[in-house]
Structure formats: C-alpha cells, structure tokens
Chain A
Amino acid sequence: MTNQQTAKLILDRAKPLFKREYNVQYRIKVVFDHYDHQFNFYMIRYKPGHITRVTPLHHVESTWIADLEEILNLIEKDLKLTIVFAGFEGIKWDSRNSYIQRPKRKVG
C-alpha cells in the first residue's frame, strides 16, 4: 500500500468519526509501537466529564519516519485536527532538525 493509499484509508475512517459535536475535542493519535514495529493510528474523542472514546483507524507496518511524515502531511491537508504522539521520545523528524517528542528525562 502506498503512502497516498494509506492516508486516504485513514481519512475515510476518521472523517465519519469527526462529528463536530459541541464541547468535544477531536485528536488523532499516532503511536510508535516498538513491540510490533509499526505505527498505530487512532481517533480520540475527548469531552470533559465524559468517557474518552478512542477508535483504532489503521496501522502501518513501517518504522520509517519519512513515511510517517508523508502520511501525516497528506492527512493534515484534508483533516485539520491536532495530532498527538506516543512512543517517539527522542526521535526527530526526517525533514527538520526537531524532535517529534522530547527525549525522556533521566531520573537521578
């Protein structure tokens, strides 16, 4: 599956979930799954005082940040939601010299 197809699939699944409800925050979550060596994509529906619903959208069997960057750029063109990350501590974007997530602070 190409990155374009992946982005389209994720958008097709995410758009029906983005219902623009009042007082609800929608986010896309990307997880670097180090156990399965893949990126997992989720849609989060957060409403203060209610249970937080998380719906799996897709997983990409790749650990290339360049792939992820392209997919996310394509998604952001069509669906402007905040993207949150997990499992990317200390990893930098491929195209720029900035961290996706800052490295974990060493204790002690």
Chain B
Amino acid sequence: MDYSNEPKGVFMVIDNKSFYASVECVQLGLNPLTASLVVMSDQDNTNGGLILASSPTAKKRFHITNVTRKRDLPWDDSLIVVPPRMNLYIQKNLAINKIFHEFADEEHCFPYSIDETILDLTHTWHLFGDSPAQVARKIQKTVRQRLGLYTTVGIGDNPVQAKLALDLFAKHNKDLVGQLSYDTFAKNVWPIEPIDKIWSIGKHTAENLAKLGIHNLGELARTDPYQLKAHLGVMGYQLFAIAWGIDRAQLDQKVPIKDKGLSNSQVLPRDYKDKHELEVVITEIAEQVASRLRHRNKQTSCVHLYLGFSYVESEGSDRTSISHEQKITTTSDNRELVGAVMDLFHKYWHGERVRNVGVSYTRLSSSNAQQLDIFDDPEVQIKKSKVDKVADEIRDKFGATAIFKGHSLEKGGTMLKRSGLVGGHNGGNAYD
C-alpha cells in the first residue's frame, strides 16, 4: 500500500483512566489505580442505582462495568461507593485541557468527550522530547503531578490511528502508551477479533460484516469497497478507510452544520401509561426546550416528538417507539410549541406504556422579529411573548425553579427533581 499521498502528522488521543472514579479517589486521598471505588448515581430513573464509573481495581476485583446496576454490586465492605459530582468532573476536565494547551495551542487541541482529548502535535512535539512516545510520557507525568490523575495516550500518524492505538493497545500496556503508524498498522490491527473491538464498529455493524464473511480488519481491508458501499451505504467507505488506517479529516476545519436543532430527552423514573401524566411531562420538556430556544434568540418551524416504549411494551412487538415531526409556522412561543407537540402526542400515542421522552425543535431561524398571526389580536400576541420573556429572565436571575407551572407539582412531573442535575446526574451542588 502506498501511503505517500496520505496526510501524516503526530496525533495523540489522551484518555483519563476511569475519569469520574479517579477524580473521586484523588479527592478522598486514595490512589486511583489501587482503590476499589465506584461512582453511583441514585436518581429515580436509575432502577435503584446506576454505576457511572468504577476504578480499575474495582473492575478487576469485582468485574464491575459501567452501567452495572446497584443490585449487581458485590456485598463487600472494601468497595467504596460515592455519589457523582458532575460539576467537579467538568472543572477537572477543564484543568486537564489547560495542561494540554501547554503542549499544543488551542487551535490544535480538540476535546472529544468529558475524558478524551485529541491533540495535533505535528508542529510542536519536538519542543518537548526526542520522540512522540517521550512527549506522551511527559504529558502523563505533568497531569499526574498537578492533578493526581492517570492518563492513557494513543499515538498515531493520523487521528483514527491514535484513537485505535489508545483503545486497543495503550489501555493494556504497562506504561499506558500505545503507538500505531502507517508502517505498523496492518501487522498490529488487522488480526484483532472480535471486530467490534474496533472504534466505530458496534454489534450491529459487526453482524452485517459477518454476513459478508468479514471477521477482522484484515478481511475488511481486502474486500471490494464498492461491495461494502452496496451493503453498508456510505459507512462502507468509511470502514474501508479505517481498515487501511487512513483518516483524511482536517480537525481544524469546522464542519458546517446543515440543520441545527435543539432537543431534550429523559428516561422516566417508571413506566408512564396515564395520559395526563404523559401530558405533564411532555409539556415540561417542550417548555424547557422552548426556553433554550428563546435564550439563543431562535425560532423554530418544525417540532419533533419521540416516545420510547417500556421494555414490557416493546417485547414481542415490532413497534418499540414512535418518532414523528410536524412543520409549524415559525415561532418561539411556549403555548404554540407545546400545542404542536401535544397534537403529535394525541395523534400518534395509542395507550402504550412509555419510558423515554424526547422533544426537539429543528429548522431554526433567528428571531429578531415576531411573526404575527393575521387572525389574532396583535396586542395579545405581543403580550404573550413578553410573558415568556419575563419568565425566562426570572429563571436566569433566581434559578430554574424560581418560577414554574402548577402542573409540575402534579403526579408525573419530573422538572423539580431534575432541576439540580447535570447530564441527568447529581451536579454535586447538593453536597459540596
């Protein structure tokens, strides 16, 4: 394979080892690698408790994985359980990225998730060491010294190689560094099985590939790309590129977003089957997204409702969820948006038990002007929009629960309980 025309640089994908659990270990004065600790969210919708993170030793000793439930935890007093503090983890993530900025400027530092960052060190690595691996060690040591956290580093000639080096090798190597390049890619990555260990290949794709007789990247690399495209669509080409370790992404070029939308969704604390309860919770979410819309000075002309059915309901049935959208006249008015979402709900819901609810607004436009309806009194319309604005301002100043609709107190409402959460889990303000 001739790689001479492919982009070549020095990329690192850096991951914090068991991030949430490690942060908690450091705060407790424990070593993140040797302590047995899990972070468990105790919210209503987690079925008694959901494990968000576990330290490496807890994983090894008790075979705990993320999303293990509380009922599956061992009865052992050497296992420490702490509640999550999402705000603290966000702070730590910012602190870590600040350290990375000492090695690569902000233009070449791309946070990928709360605990992973991609660094493009093509132009700067030689300032910090004789080899990329040495620079990786230096970054690891700096983070450990200043924050007490351990990091794993994948190094590659392009971002996808770095990511695969991280996932497949760095996590298992003793020095927590893994390296791949165009020269070593085929030898190291092609034989790996099962194929769903590879980033971007999930269970479903793996099954599809197995139907084509493909069980590892080597077989994938030797398959006709047109055949892959015919079976898997555009993903076929992407997988073919990954199989050869090729990634032509220009990370510093922003991807234009075609149709930006705003959405909120949540897992309900129990199955909802009562119509009124569902109306309450859907209204709450619709209003929350509407408020975010107004915050960004946007209006929408398309509303979308998603209802995921409960496990019992979807078992043995073809329909596991409903997902419908409807075009509306451009607006950011609470009543109109809630009305449109309710219309969808009444039209498509036929008494199923619901566990997931999501509302999104797409086709956004900026709201410098208010579109008046010719058939309604213009003054009333302007007044209504002012009421929404005042309510938003009160919430900004005094918090999300300073003013809320009476229905949030009814059975089925979840807004009040969820108001202090970050990403659905305890933000930490309640304790610290």
Partner-B contacts on A (CB < 8 A): 13, 29, 31-33, 35-36, 40, 42, 46-59, 86-87
Q: Within the complex, which residue of A33, A51, A58, A86 is in contact with B432, where a contact is CB–CB below 8 Å? A: A58
Known A47-B77, A50-B77, A57-B432; contact A40-B28, beta-carbon cutoff 8 A:
yes
Q: Is the CB of B81 within 8 A of A54?
A: yes
Q: Which of B226-284 contact A (CB under 8 A)?
A: none
Query: 4 smallest A-B Cβ distances: which pairs?
Result: A86-B29, A31-B29, A87-B29, A56-B431
> CA–CA, A69 to B108, complex, Å?
47
Partner-A contacts on B (CB < 8 A): 26-30, 73-83, 85, 146-148, 428, 431-432
> CA–CA, A13 to B77, complex, Å?
23
State how many angstroms separate the Cβ of A84 from the closest Cβ of chain B: 10
Which residues of B lie under 8 Å from residue A29 when comparing CB positions?
28
Known A31-B29, A33-B29; contact A56-B83, beta-carbon cutoff 8 A:
yes
State how many angstroms separate the Cβ of B248 from the closest Cβ of chain A: 40
Which residues of A lie under 8 Å from residue B146 when comparing CB positions?
35
> CA–CA, A51 to B37, complex, Å?
10
State how many angstroms separate the Cβ of A66 from the closest Cβ of chain B: 21
Given A35-B26, A57-B431, A87-B29, list of 20 further CB < 8 A pairs?
A29-B28, A32-B29, A33-B26, A33-B27, A40-B28, A48-B77, A49-B75, A51-B75, A51-B76, A51-B79, A52-B81, A53-B82, A55-B83, A56-B27, A56-B83, A56-B431, A57-B432, A58-B431, A58-B432, A86-B29
Show 15 residue pairs from A and B whose CB-CB distance is below 8 angstroms, ordered by the A residue. A35-B147, A35-B148, A49-B77, A51-B73, A52-B77, A52-B78, A52-B79, A53-B80, A54-B81, A54-B82, A56-B27, A56-B428, A56-B432, A58-B432, A86-B29
> CA–CA, A32 to B82, complex, Å?
18
Q: Is the CB of B77 within 8 A of A53?
A: no
Which residues of A lie under 8 Å from residue B82 when comparing CB positions?
53-56
Q: Within the complex, which residue of B28, B79, B85 is in contact with A31, where a contact is CB–CB below 8 Å? A: B28
State how many angstroms separate the Cβ of B62 from the closest Cβ of chain A: 10
Q: Is the CB of B29 within 8 A of A55?
A: no
Which residues of A lie under 8 Å from residue B29 when comparing CB positions?
31-33, 40, 86-87
> CA–CA, A2 to B148, complex, Å?
29
Known A13-B431, A55-B431, A57-B431; contact A31-B27, beta-carbon cutoff 8 A:
yes
State how many angstroms separate the Cβ of A57 from the closest Cβ of chain B: 7
Known A50-B75, A57-B431, A57-B432; contact A42-B28, beta-carbon cutoff 8 A:
yes
> CA–CA, A13 to B80, complex, Å?
20
CB-nearest residue of chain B relative to A86? B29
Q: Is the CB of B28 within 8 A of A86?
A: yes
